[in-house]
Amino acid sequence: MRLNSKVLPLNGFTLIEMLVVVVITGLLFAILLPAVQRAREAARRLQCTNNLKQIGVAVQIHQTSHGEFPPGYTVKHDKITPGWGWAFYLLNSMEQENIYNAANLVIPMALSPFQVTVTRSQINTYLCPSENNSEKINMGFTNKPKKAFEDYAPSQYVGSAGFMQIYKHNKGAAMEIDGSGTGVFYMNSHIGPKDIGDGLSHTLMVGERSRTVSDAVWAGVFASVYNRFCTKTKWTVQSCTSSAFMVLGRASAPFADYSEDVPTHYTPGANGIGSDSFSSSHGDGANFVFADGSSKFIRSTVQAQVFRSLSSRAGGEVIGADDF
């Protein structure tokens, strides 16, 4: 008996076919990945906008209850003590009464274990998903061991102080603290809708702050306004400014503070901004909520004078909707 010597064909891929599949897959991945990343960033940016809308609603609730917007931050008569910030005063309007009630308002908001329940509490509404960084910020002295109660919960939103200066003159250590601003929020501010002559829809209230540039906290000014905080080591501009700007952002400064060289104007997210301005991880600008509760993304290409005008509450500037 003779065996059948017929050879059956082998099913499979040749090396060339396999390489073609790999190349096509790689090309599809390269084409689709940026689109997926853009879609994810769009979703994150939308969440940042929604956070600002919630903040805007909370500000309006506070204004209805108290007749004015919350203060930028509050300090005693000597003006150098720690003070609770605007975002702290919004907690009751954001269904965060338990955190607000945990604060001891009799003693200062300071690096103290007595306030740790409040200062270390993470408020998701104050975090932008694009930052992807909720790590606590240690406020202790750099030359001393770190302590847990010195960790503050971060924020990615700061109040608009407008044209603000911390000091009345620049004469070394004996400078007199001013702290006033042309915006909605500043030291011990008492601003209501009647004080906003430029129109609520043309006045910035709260904007973004990226941790790529500098840190921000929601609880308040953690120590004397003489204390400094600085831009991150990898940021384009290395500058330091008053700790008041960990809760506030300014579009401009009239002169250089004692510890920094401040440009005369900023636009959101520009490479030249310092630790006291607005920024985001969106790449081309930042989200803002206005005094009427509306929100808008302002690009870094906006004219500096327009941005500065938007930051003032009663400067008398005329700005068209197409200008920003």
pLDDT tens for residues 16-39?
A: 877 888 888 888 877 876 776 677
Tell me the C-alpha to C-alpha distance, in Å, between residue 175 and each of 165, 178, 244.
12, 9, 16
Q: Which pLDDT score, from 0 to 100, does residue 259 have?
A: 32
Q: Which pLDDT score, from 0 to 100, does residue 271 have?
A: 62
- What is the identity of the amino acid at 124? N
Token digits of residue 269: 């997210």
**Regarding predicted confidence, which is higher, 284 or 206?**
206
Distance between CA atoms of residues 37 and 30, nearest Å: 11
- What is the identity of the amino acid at 260? E
* Range with the largest mean pLDDT of 102-116, 180-194, 250-264: 180-194
Q: Where are the domains of the chain?
A: 35-323
Among residues 315, 317, 279, the alpha carbon closest in space to that of 298 is found at: 279
Residue 134 burial class via C-beta count within 10 angstroms: exposed 0-12, middle 13-18, buried 19 and up: middle
Distance between CA atoms of residues 260 and 229, nearest Å: 11
3-state DSSP call for residue 288? strand
Mean pLDDT, to the nearest integer, of 43-57?
A: 90
Tell me the C-alpha to C-alpha distance, in Å, between residue 306 and each of 180, 287, 320.
21, 16, 9
Q: How confident is the model at residue 93 (pLDDT cuts 50, 70, 90)?
A: very high
For residue 252, the tally of other CB atoms under 10 A from its CB is: 22
Distance between CA atoms of residues 83 and 186, nearest Å: 12
Mean pLDDT, to the nearest integer, of 119-136?
A: 88
Whether the CB-CB separation of 198 and 317 falls below 8 Å is answered with yes
Cα 205-316-244 angle, rounded to 5 deg: 35
- The residue behind tokens 């490479």 is 271
Predicted confidence (pLDDT) at residue 1 exceeds the cutoff of 60: no
pLDDT tens for residues 275-312?
A: 888 888 887 888 999 999 999 999 888 888 888 899 99
Whole-prediction pTM value?
A: 0.81
Q: Which pLDDT score, from 0 to 100, does residue 137 have?
A: 80
Q: How do strand 295-299 and strand 285-290 relate by DSSP bridges? A: antiparallel
Token digits of residue 261: 């060289």
Tell me the C-alpha to C-alpha distance, in Å, between residue 152 and each of 72, 89, 112, 218, 323.
18, 17, 11, 9, 37
Looking at residue 77, what DSSP letter applies? T
Q: Which pLDDT score, from 0 to 100, does residue 2 have?
A: 54
- The residue behind tokens 């997926």 is 36
| Strand partners of residue 158 | 207
For residue 168, the tally of other CB atoms under 10 A from its CB is: 12
Q: Which pLDDT score, from 0 to 100, does residue 254 have?
A: 36
Among residues 131, 107, 130, the alpha carbon closest in space to that of 119 is found at: 107
- What is the identity of the amino acid at 192? G
Q: Which pLDDT score, from 0 to 100, does residue 146 have?
A: 61
